[in-house]
Structure 1
Amino acid sequence: MTDKDGDWTISTQGKEGPTGMEYLVGFPSKEFINTNNSYGYGCGCILSEASKESKEITRIFNFKALPLRVCKTDPSLREKTEEIENVMNDN
């Protein structure tokens, strides 16, 4: 997950994810950019606890998918969304 403070790991393949993963129910297909099989990105709001040291989400309390335009037009996320789009366009 990327927010104004940086990149955060929600889950790593082969490792149990944080409590509350069931809240991450997904995005409407028109609001999800698929980059590789089931991997990709969308825009959403996650209420969570995180470890600043490890940059890992440790518990999820709630999630709400939002339209992509919300993140793309949020001034605090503009640099991050441009960076993500540039990486995706290079692949």
Structure 2
Amino acid sequence: MMLVAALPVLEAVAKGKSAAAKAAVENRCGWFVNPSPANAWLIDRDGEWIIATQGGEQAEGDWPPPIAEKQWVSYGGGSYGHGCACMRVLTDRKTMQVKRIVSSAGKTLAQCRRDPKLAEPRD
């Protein structure tokens, strides 16, 4: 009887998959920073999560749009800058990389500014 229960685990291991459950989607909120083309990260209470690096890895999924133009701090008058966002993501905790963005939403700047654990990025 015990052997029958272990078969799915053995099959997963044989296929090179972890016996652990699928990676869990995490909800992360903080500063979404996009300072230049193809570079982006999210700074939350746990640190700085890399979303994209120019010429490097890019997370799958859509980046969060600001909820309004006044909720985006522009760098040098262009479209690059930072805002506040919440994202449902799959991550690699060892490398602090976002692998996939399941969903994302812009939030008010005030939401991030109220959090004492989040320092606002500088341009």
- TM-score band by shorter chain is 0.7 to 0.9
Q: Does 1:7 align with 2:48?
A: yes
Alignment of 1:1-91 (within 5 A): 1-20=42-61, 22=62, 24-27=63-66, 28-36=68-76, 37-74=78-115, 78-82=116-120, 84=121, 88=122
How many residues matched?
A: 80
Higher RCO (Cα < 8 Å, 6 or more apart): 1
The alpha carbon displacement at 1:79 in A equals: 3.4
Alpha-carbon distance in structure 1 between the residues aligned to 2:65 and 2:51: 14
User: Partners of 1:33 and 1:54 in 2: how far apart?
Assistant: 27
Secondary structure at 1:71's aligned position in 2?
helix
- List gaps (5 residues or longer) in structure 1: none
**Could you list the runs of 5+ residues in structure 2 that have no partner in the other structure?**
1-41
Superposition CA RMSD, Å: 1.8
Shift of 1:17: 1.4
Identity in percent = 29
Which TM-score applies when normalising by structure 1? 0.76
